Amino acid sequence: MKRVLERNAPSFIVLLTDVLICLVSLAIAYQIRFNFNVPDTETITYPTVFPFVLTIRILSFLINKTYTGIIRHTSTRDTVRILLTLLSGSIIMAISNPISFQINGIYLVPFSIIIIEFLLSVFLMITGRLIVKVIYMELKNPSREKTGVLIYGAGEAGLTTKRTLDRDKATKYKVVAFIDDDPKKSGKKLESISIYPSSAIEKLIKKRNIKHLIIAIQNISPEKKQFIVETGLSHKIYVLNVPPVQSWINGELSFKQIRKVNIEDLLGRDQISLQLDKIKEEIYQKTILVTGAAGSIGSEMVRQILPFEPKLLLLLDIAESPLYDLELEIRDNPATNFLNIEPIIGDIRNKERMRNIFNTFHPDIIFHAAAYKHVPMMELNPSESILNNVLGTKIIADLSMEFNASKFVMISTDKAVNPTNIMGATKRIAEMYIQSMNGLGKTKFITTRFGNVLGSNGSVIPRFKKQIESGKPLTITHPDITRYFMTISEACQLVLEAGSMGKGGEIFIFDMGLPVKIADLAKKMIQLSGLELGKDIQINYTGLRPGEKLFEELLANEENTLPTHHKKIMIAKVKSYPFDFVSEEIDALIELFNSQNNEAIVTKMKKIVPEFLSKNSEYERLDKEIMN
């Protein structure tokens, strides 16, 4: 049976069938025209009329190759081609009538017959193909074997999604209903599928045995997506998402593009409104340097900067392969017209190498994203931490001022607030130095501070994904641990906005939304993967890591904020320190690197940053010694 279904009808059989349809349509047209009582005066013209009409039809079919399509896969394009082919033949018949009248004094084919035959042929040829298609689809994949699907969104994307499921013979999904928030659509049908309001979603899931829910709304708000996904997951159904139209292949949606909802989709927020003109004014035809350009934040900064057409974009990183991948991504992207980039391999701790870069290119604006960021790793390597995060930042900042860069924008972290670990303390020391430098030269020094970014290298979400894919338990340090999250794109957009508005000396903090409980995040990811906690996969609590906080802060206790024109960006009122003091303290701290004495290094850091109190770390005892 399967082989019979898969076998294509020979083209000549399709052609003969179409000709037979036209013959039948012509005969019926005469019967309808004369009320099923054709006079003898008309029947005597049959030997002339029928061959004439069929000849025109056959020639038009051969020219337009309407018989070459695979019937069971008839598309809208095929039906339009059939319509135009028949119409062109009918027009030729109509034009032949005046010619026949001039020669014989009669119309060869009455105009009414031409019109009726055309309508009947169109109806029978198109309907016949659609019937074959429906029968094939039903035999190939009976409805009783299909999985019930709800499509949320009865717009163009929703209709396209339904058609994609219908035409993909490999799928076993049957669209049961559409859900739409537009009250004008409620109660109506879209291609014979009923449209229901969102209030009916739970009832439909229970009553119609729904197993899949596809979100097919373009530009949906995060709140609405959260509601839809929560509803689906609460009933243990699989939730899928239709990608944006611009990512469809050649403007058409394929079944494989309908993917599962990611946790990033639920944690994102409404699109950020940026002062694009102001940002372009800052960047356009300027030489821009991005340190740490191959990292998660750095690479996204590069992508965000490119559309503003800098004169030259310098991509600085010590990691060769990721930097090479970024360069290829930019150069191979047809949407990127800007190719004036300069990948640079270099270590920000190497002053002479950095000086050569500044002396060669004279960057106008520096976005400093290079840093060591992993808390447990830095807790084990304090000397390297201060060398990269403190000395590296100092070198880039000093050269920025020496070569009269207009702006230096440092990307910091919420872990710099009341730091409990080495990494956070190094970032706070770097903040102090950057802030103290403002006003010493022409360069405006600006700091941006935000929390965790979704999907960044080594962050919790990629780790959870790997654990789920491998079937391993998800590891969480503590049941109550919480974190702020922001998408990489959102964070980098806000960095650009803050950089453009900064006058110098500010520490900008971003609205990170509400903190997210990591345990809840893990449970949601398990559900989105179609797994069941406790049955398919487990969660293991391993205890807080060295230097790790239960919750992060964006402001220290004695700090408060000032608003800006952007509702998601605020200025932190942070205690500032004199340049001479900070510079001397940092020099003394870096000098300790040579000793490789971790205790001496951490003790010095605690004296520079008095609020630095270690947690879950071997260095907690140093706090007691300093206090005593």
Quick check: 210 and 148 in contact, CB under 8 A?
Answer: yes
Across 477-577, the runs of DSSP E, i.e. the strands, are 482-483, 485-487, 507-510, 516-517, 539-541, 560-563, 569-573
Quick check: 408 and 397 in contact, CB under 8 A?
Answer: yes
Position 182, amino acid: D
Q: State the Cα–Cα distance between residues 388 and 317, nearest whole angstrom.
A: 12
Q: Which of 174, 373, 415, 444 is catalytic?
A: 415
Q: State the Cα–Cα distance between residues 445 and 526, nearest whole angstrom.
A: 43
Count CB atoms within 10 A of the CB of residue 459: 18
- Counting beta carbons within 10 angstroms of the beta carbon of residue 413, is it exposed (0 to 12), middle (13 to 18) or buried (19 or more)? buried
Residue listed under structure tokens 């009122």:
573
Task: Decide: helix, strand or coil at residue 617.
Answer: coil
3-state secondary structure string across 88-150: HHHHHHHHHHHHHHHHHCCCCCCHHHHHHHHHHHHHHHHHHHHHHHHHHHHHHCCHHHCEEEE
Within 8 A by CB and 6+ apart from 399, the residues are: 354, 355, 358
Q: State the Cα–Cα distance between residues 556 and 611, nearest whole angstrom.
A: 9
Position 592, amino acid: L
Q: State the Cα–Cα distance between residues 178 and 157, nearest whole angstrom.
A: 12
H/E stretch holding 343 reads: strand 341-345
Helices 76-104 and 46-64: angle between axes, nearest 10 degrees: 140
Helices 46-64 and 11-33: angle between axes, nearest 10 degrees: 140
Interior CA angle at 165 toward 161 and 167, to 5°?
A: 115
Nearest CA to 304 among 488, 459, 567?
488
Quick check: 178 and 151 in contact, CB under 8 A?
Answer: yes
Q: State the Cα–Cα distance between residues 209 and 147, nearest whole angstrom.
A: 8
Is 415 catalytic? The answer is yes
Residue 431, Ramachandran bin (φ over 0: left; ψ between -120 and 50: alpha; else beta)? alpha
β-strands 474-476, 341-345 pairing = unpaired
Quick check: 450 and 300 in contact, CB under 8 A?
Answer: no
Residue 564, Ramachandran bin (φ over 0: left; ψ between -120 and 50: alpha; else beta)? beta
Interior CA angle at 567 toward 562 and 568, to 5°?
A: 90
Count CB atoms within 10 A of the CB of residue 329: 13
Any idea which residues carry the catalytic annotation? 415
